[in-house]
């Protein structure tokens, strides 16, 4: 009796195991991402892929954003995971590529890579071997989203330089409108806010000097730019140190605040949250009238092939297709992104405007250049600027803390 | 084989069979990860894969090298503040609440339920609710204070009040648990003991301080140990209310959040380093195990003395 039950149980278990093992069938490529909200878009696009590549289907699987790194790294370490993976860029990409979990993309075998500009390729390149490991999906641009109706009601012109910007803030406030929706309770939003306003003051020469090892974050240009952020405190909501990301989004989408300092990736969600919102996306104010300004830009994710994939040819076909306009144009339209591809225009007027601003963009410095080793520039910056805005650290102290932290692994910052 | 031996063998087989699921789960989900963490703590990580044995380098980094050493000490300091505050406020109040419930005043059954009710809620729900109540713009707490003429305050956004606000939330959430343990301890004291003390003219204070306190010493030992472990393993509530970085500016950073950040990074700022993260976890485990063992031994002896 006992033995019989055991045998039945064993049989059932074997059958279940066989079913799981055969879940990824021949001609089926599995795809993992953290973008659960984009499932419908990807499912449609992958159907188009199957049409042009008969015999290959794509199975979409999404995991929560917060746990994605953990789930993927655990799976890859165990020699498992999807055939094609949505991966991060810069340091996040390097972490996976260095460990040998991803297939390097040879430009001779992936001719579609020539559709991507150099800085997009750089975002998915392992610096140590100079090889490209993923096809970049989209670029993100940091600027200012504005509610045109609120500016019109208050009779305030949209400012383009620093002095006008501060004056506009005062005028909006006098009309009972919160000028800027952002608070400082969510650390990564602090970094976005910081980059938007400091980059125009720093200028591209600062980045060049930094990468040449001629200066660090104690540079007067950087400390002065940080000090500018303090002038904006009056424009933020009351109790801004406790205002987090979702609150800032609410304040802007419900028309209680005139501006939202954020990425181009906010355009889609704001349109969905309030279709009546009369949106515009502008560059941050220039230091003075007549001077140039710069939005900040980074490339945020890409598609890579798992080195342990059992369907590597089909996976390669999919990744090559992901680097073509056939995928990139409809994906950018449906996801509200700006494709990384140089030959994928966006018909949306607002995204078209962002693409125009990108022509004079500066890098989103900490992510693009200082998120490869710990403590990352982002870790240090978010901590420091949050404190500076709360008044418990000075701009000079923040500059020193960032420099000292990065100096741990970045030789040009190490004092002789 | 005699029938008795066969019966004993069958019994043994049954016990093994019944224990096996628990043992397998325990080994798979507790023992193995613990051993893996112990091993990883001695490895450098290059990206996601181990890049070679480095001895105690990870421990040295998190304990002695800037800026990690300062972050470790800051987190440890916050855990200590959490422990002391919870012992004083949460458990002190729980002791008084238990005494009030012991008096079986009218409606004491209802009160018993009310006091214990928050304990059954998930920390995520409690954290989220209190975060809304403490909200600087829309929060009910600021609204209530405004009625009293007190200016609104960003409780969770101010470095001076953020940790305190989360500790108070924790006290609200968990008050019922130590109260229940104390109450159970108090109910075990014979009614005649308390009556005798009362006849001798002991008031509530004397009763609490000199009669009940020594007699509920075993309950205090349990409460102390659980609060200690809970305070130094604190994770859910600060994670929900202040995020992975212990916002603002690390004012609410505790060892649990810090170890998680070291190991897994945060999607928006940090990188993964299982070596340092594991080293931190191993240190936390050793610290908790040693202090708990010493404290238990000391408290048990004190129980006898009392």
pLDDT tens digits, one per residue of B92-125: 999 999 999 998 888 888 988 999 999 999 999 9
Residues 6+ apart with CB under 8 A from B71: B250, B253, B258
Per-residue pLDDT band for B10 (boundaries 50, 70, 90) equals very high
Residue A2 burial (CB count, 10 A): 9
What percent of chain B has pLDDT above 90?
A: 69
| Shared-domain flag, residues B151 and B33 | no
| Cβ count near B229 (within 10 Å) | 15
- Say how far apart CA B262 and CA B68 lie, in whole Å: 10
User: In this model, does residue A69 exceed pLDDT 90?
Assistant: no
Name the strand (E) or helix (H) holding A176: none
Residue A43 has pLDDT above 80, yes or no: yes
**Residue among A92, A100, A239 whose CB faces B157 most closely:** A239
Question: Which CATH number is B136's domain given?
Answer: 1.10.3720.10
Helix %, strand %, coil % for chain A, to 5?
55, 15, 30
Question: Does A280 lie in the same domain as A186?
Answer: yes
* A305 CB-near residues (< 8 Å, 6+ apart): A83, A84, A85, A102, A103, A105, A312, A315, A316, A319
Contact A98 B267 (CB under 8 A): no
Classify residue B61: in a domain, yes or no.
Answer: no
Question: What value does the mean pLDDT take over residues A393-397?
Answer: 97
The total number of structural domains in chain B stands at 2
Residue A14 has pLDDT above 50, yes or no: no
Give the tens place of pLDDT for each residue, B269-288: 778 888 999 999 999 999 99
| Start-to-end C-alpha separation, chain A | 79
Tens of pLDDT, residues A188-200: 999 999 999 999 9
pLDDT, tens digit, 9 for 90 and up, residues A233-258: 999 999 999 999 999 999 999 999 99
Residue A334 has pLDDT above 70, yes or no: yes
Which residues have a Cβ under 8 Å from the Cβ of A46 and sit 6 or more positions away? A31, A57, A58, A60
For A30, the domain range is: 2-139+299-359
Chain A: residue whose CA lies nearest to B249: A383
Beta bridge partners of A152: none
Cα–Cα distance for residue pair B253/B71, rounded to 1 Å: 8
- Which member of B47, B134, B247 has the closest CB to residue A98? B47
Both B86 and B20 in one domain: the answer is: no
Q: Mark yes or no for CB contact A66/B137 under 8 Å.
A: no
Q: Are residues A74 and A163 in the same domain?
A: no
Contact B70, B152 (CB under 8 A): no
How far, in Å, CA of A289 to CA of A274, rounded? 33
Full-prediction pTM beyond 0.90? no
Q: Which residues pair with A59 in a beta bridge?
A: A30
Q: Does the distance separating the beta carbons of A186 and B157 come in below 8 Å?
A: no
Q: Residue B149 carries which DSSP code?
A: T
**Same domain, residue pair A190 and A76:** no
A282 and A395 housed in the same domain: yes
Instruction: Provide the domain limits for residue B34.
Output: 3-40
Q: Is the peptide bond before B284 cis (omega within 30 degrees of 0)?
A: no
CATH number of residue A157's parent domain = 3.40.190.10
Q: What's the CA gap between B95 and B91, in Å, rounded?
A: 6
Looking at residue B1, its pLDDT comes to 54
CB contact under 8 A, A68 and B267: yes
Q: Would the pLDDT of A21 be above 80?
A: no
**Which of B37, B154, B241 to probe the A interface (max A CBs under 10 A)?**
B154
- Are both A325 and A387 inside the same structural domain? no
Length of chain B: 306
Handedness of CA A270, A272, A277, A279 (dihedral sign): positive
The number of angstroms, rounded, from the C-alpha of A392 to the middle of its chain's C-alpha atoms is 29
Query: What would the mean pLDDT of B204-226 be, rounded to a whole number?
Result: 90
Yes or no: say if A304 and A96 are a contact pair by the CB < 8 Å rule. Answer: yes
The yes/no answer to whether this complex scores an ipTM above 0.90 is no
**One domain, residues B141 and B256:** yes
Q: Cα–Cα distance between A126 and A306 in angstroms, integer?
A: 15
A117-146 pLDDT tens trace: 999 999 999 999 999 999 999 999 999 999
Say yes or no: B143 and B282 in one domain.
yes
Containing H/E element for B158?
none
Q: For residue B2, is pLDDT > 70?
A: no
d(CA B29, CA B20) in angstroms, rounded, equals 14
Residue B261 lies in a domain: yes
Alpha carbon A149 to chain centroid, angstroms: 28
Distance CA A277, CA A258 (A): 11
Determine whether the interchain pair A73/B48 forms a contact, defined as Cβ–Cβ distance below 8 Å: yes
Average confidence score pLDDT of chain A: 91
Say whether pLDDT at B179 is over 90: yes
């Amino acid at each position: 009796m006992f033995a019989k039950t055991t045998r039945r149980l064993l049989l059932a278990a074997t059958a279940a195991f066989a079913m799981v093992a055969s879940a990824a069938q021949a001609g089926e490529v599995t795809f993992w991402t953290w973008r659960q909200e984009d499932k419908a878009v990807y499912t449609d696009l992958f159907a188009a892929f199957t049409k042009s590549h008969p015999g290959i289907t794509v199975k979409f699987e999404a995991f929560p954003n917060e746990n994605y790194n953990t789930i993927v790294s655990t799976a890859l370490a165990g020699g498992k995971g999807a055939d094609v993976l949505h991966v991060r860029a810069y340091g996040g990409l390097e972490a996976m590529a260095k460990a040998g979990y991803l297939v390097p993309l040879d430009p001779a075998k992936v001719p579609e890579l020539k559709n991507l500009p150099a800085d997009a390729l750089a975002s998915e390149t392992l610096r140590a071997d100079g090889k490209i490991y993923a096809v970049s999906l989209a670029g993100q641009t940091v600027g200012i989203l504005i509610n045109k109706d609120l500016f019109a009601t208050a009779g305030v012109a949209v400012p383009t330089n620093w002095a006008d910007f501060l004056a506009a803030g005062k005028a909006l406030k006098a009309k009972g409108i919160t000028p800027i929706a952002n608070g400082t309770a969510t650390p990564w939003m602090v970094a976005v806010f910081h980059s938007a306003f400091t980059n125009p003051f720093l200028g591209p020469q600062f980045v060049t000097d930094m990468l040449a090892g001629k200066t660090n974050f104690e540079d007067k240009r950087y400390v002065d730019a940080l000090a500018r952020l303090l002038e904006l405190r009056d424009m933020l909501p009351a109790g801004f140190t406790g205002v987090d990301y979702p609150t800032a989004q609410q304040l802007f989408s419900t028309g209680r605040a005139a501006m939202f300092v954020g990425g181009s990736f906010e355009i889609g969600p704001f349109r969905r949250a309030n279709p009546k919102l009369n949106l515009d996306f502008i560059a941050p104010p220039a230091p003075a009238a007549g001077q140039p300004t710069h939005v900040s830009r980074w490339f945020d994710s890409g598609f890579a092939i798992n080195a342990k994939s059992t369907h590597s040819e089909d996976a390669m076909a999919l990744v090559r297709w992901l680097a073509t306009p056939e995928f990139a144009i409809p994906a950018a339209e449906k996801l509200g992104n700006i494709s990384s591809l140089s030959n994928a225009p966006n018909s949306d007027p607002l995204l078209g405007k962002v693409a125009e601003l990108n022509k004079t963009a500066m890098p989103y410095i900490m992510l693009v250049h200082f998120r490869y080793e710990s403590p990352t520039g982002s870790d240090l910056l978010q901590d420091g600027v949050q404190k500076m805005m709360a008044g418990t650290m000075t701009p000079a102290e923040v500059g020193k803390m960032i420099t000292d932290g990065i100096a741990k692994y970045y030789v040009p910052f190490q004092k002789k | 084989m005699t029938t008795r031996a066969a019966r004993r063998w069958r019994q043994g087989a049954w016990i093994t069979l019944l224990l096996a699921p628990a043992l397998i789960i325990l080994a798979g989900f507790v023992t193995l990860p613990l051993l893996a963490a112990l091993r990883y703590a001695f490895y450098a990580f290059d990206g996601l894969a181990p890049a070679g044995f480095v001895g105690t380098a990870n421990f040295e980094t998190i304990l002695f090298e800037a800026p990690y050493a300062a972050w470790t000490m800051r987190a440890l300091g916050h855990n200590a503040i959490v422990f002391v505050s919870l012992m004083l406020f949460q458990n002190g109040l729980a002791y008084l609440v238990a005494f009030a419930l012991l008096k079986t005043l009218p409606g004491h059954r209802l009160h018993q339920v009310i006091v214990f009710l928050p304990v059954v809620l998930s920390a995520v729900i409690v954290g989220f609710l209190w975060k809304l109540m403490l909200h600087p713009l829309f929060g009910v707490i600021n609204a209530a204070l405004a009625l009293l003429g007190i200016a609104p305050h960003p409780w969770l956004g101010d470095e001076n009040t953020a940790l305190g606000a989360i500790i108070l939330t924790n006290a609200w959430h968990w008050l019922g648990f130590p109260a229940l343990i104390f109450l159970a301890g108090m109910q075990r004291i014979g009614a005649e003991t308390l009556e005798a003390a009362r006849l001798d003219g002991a008031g509530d204070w004397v009763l609490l301080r000199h009669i009940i306190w020594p007699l509920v010493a075993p309950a205090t030992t349990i409460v102390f140990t659980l609060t200690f472990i809970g305070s130094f393993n604190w994770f859910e509530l600060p994670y929900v209310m202040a995020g992975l970085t212990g916002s603002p500016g690390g004012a609410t950073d505790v060892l649990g959040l810090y170890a998680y950040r070291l190991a897994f990074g945060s999607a928006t700022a940090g990188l993964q380093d299982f070596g340092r993260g594991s080293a931190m976890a191993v240190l936390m485990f050793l610290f908790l195990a040693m202090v708990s063992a010493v404290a238990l031994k000391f408290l048990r002896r004190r129980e006898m003395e009392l």
